[in-house]
Amino acid sequence: TQLLEQSPQFLSIQEGENLTVYCNSSSVFSSLQWYRQEPGEGPVLLVTVVTGGEVKKLKRLTFQFGDARKDSSLHITAAQPGDTGLYLCAGAQNAGNMLTFGGGTRLMVKP
């Protein structure tokens, strides 16, 4: 079983602060996806990273895939209350395979 460890599990910060969420595994993934989930809703895809060392930016969010494709990070700059939510990383070993999800990071940004 491939495991994805996400840290931290919970994060409460003030508006304007920066934060980083980590997603680590001992397994290699062919692709890794980051999702955001609101209460009572399904996960919404934020980004997919495929190449080792790849960096993708989505406004104030920066996603990085580790060189060995075993880990990833999500960095949020100048967090806003609208960033509050559950952030999930999910890896796939091969195209078409199931996703293995991390346990999630529950972020709260206080105004």
Partner 1 sequence: NAGVMQNPRHLVRRRGQEARLRCSPMKGHSHVYWYRQLPEEGLKFMVYLQKENIIDESGMPKERFSAEFPKEGPSILRIQQVVRGDSAAYFCASSQKPGQAYYEQYFGPGTRLTVT
The binding site for partner 1 (CB under 8 A) comprises 30-31, 33, 35, 40-45, 48, 50, 88, 90, 92, 94-104
Minimum separation from the CB atom of position 93 to partner 1 (A): 11
Minimum separation from the CB atom of position 62 to partner 1 (A): 19
Minimum separation from the CB atom of position 24 to partner 1 (A): 15
For residues 59 and 94, which CB has a smaller minimum distance to partner 1 in the complex?
A: 94
For residues 40 and 82, which CB has a smaller minimum distance to partner 1 in the complex?
A: 40
Residue 4: how many CB atoms within 10 A of its CB? 23
Minimum separation from the CB atom of position 35 to partner 1 (A): 7
For residues 13 and 99, which CB has a smaller minimum distance to partner 1 in the complex?
A: 99
Q: Which residue has the tokens 């060189």?
A: 67
Q: Tell me how many degrees the CA angle 30-38-32 measures, rounded to the nearest 5.
A: 5
Contact yes or no for 100/5 (Cβ under 8 A): no
DSSP string for 29-69:
-SEEEEEEE-TTS--EEEEEE-STT-EEEETTEEEEE-TTS
For residues 7 and 48, which CB has a smaller minimum distance to partner 1 in the complex?
A: 48
